[in-house]
Structure 1
Amino acid sequence: MGTIDIEFKKYEENPDMNRKEIEFVLSFEGSIPSRKEILDEISACYGSEPGLVFLEKLRPVRKQMKANGRARIYDDAASLKKFEK
């Protein structure tokens, strides 16, 4: 696993859906990190369990070691199951 750096660009709480919605820029060395590595990093930053983080979008930036992404962090497993298919 290479170095992963996440810069959070947007953070919103959505109490109606029991989640936090975030947008971020991921910087990395070498190949793009695995989905698991990204979820682990986001959950560590927000003090959440990796299983409660849903990675909505991840788009690599052409010719750069960066990717733009969106994720949702749920308060509980029931909410994640209800809103994510």
Structure 2
Amino acid sequence: MEFEFTRDARNELLNRRELAFTLTYEGATPSRKIILEKIAALQNKNENLVVIDSLKTRFGKMEATGVARIYDSEESKLQTEREYLLKRGAAAGESEA
């Protein structure tokens, strides 16, 4: 699984970094939880501060594009992020734990 970050912008108003990425993988599409863990590891951040907004795959390609956000603090993440995205991230963590 290889990441290529195509955009890395700082949003000072919302206390976060906004990353656009292209992911190349072999076999089945990796789960959101695995992708989130890998992004956190590559950026040296806590997994709890990372949110994956969108993840899109194309038929017949072993490639996915997506957008992730890395917050400065848990508080700013909870104030800003949409509730369904927080639940989506938490549900993946609970089912695999």
The answer to whether the superposition gives a TM-score over 0.5 is yes
Deviations 1:19-57 (A, max 9, x none): 000100011111111111100111111111111111000
Instruction: Report the secondary structure of 2:52's partner residue.
Output: strand
Q: Which protein has the bigger helix share? A: 2
Matched, 1:81 2:78: yes
Residue in 2 that maps onto 1:19: 16
In terms of fraction of residues, the more strand-rich structure is: 1
Does 1:60 find its partner at 2:57? Answer: yes
Paired residues, number: 82
* Gapped regions of structure 2 (runs ≥ 5): 83-97
Determine whether 1:44 maps to 2:41.
yes
Please state if 1:30 is matched with 2:31.
no
Alpha-carbon offset, residue 15 of structure 1? 1.1
Q: TM-score, normalised by structure 1?
A: 0.93
Return the letter of the residue paired with 2:23. L
Q: TM-score, normalised by structure 2?
A: 0.82
Aligned partners of 1:81, 1:32: CA distance in 2, in Å? 28
Runs of 4+ in 1 over 6 A off after TM superposition: none
Taking only the aligned residue pairs, the percentage that are identical comes to 38
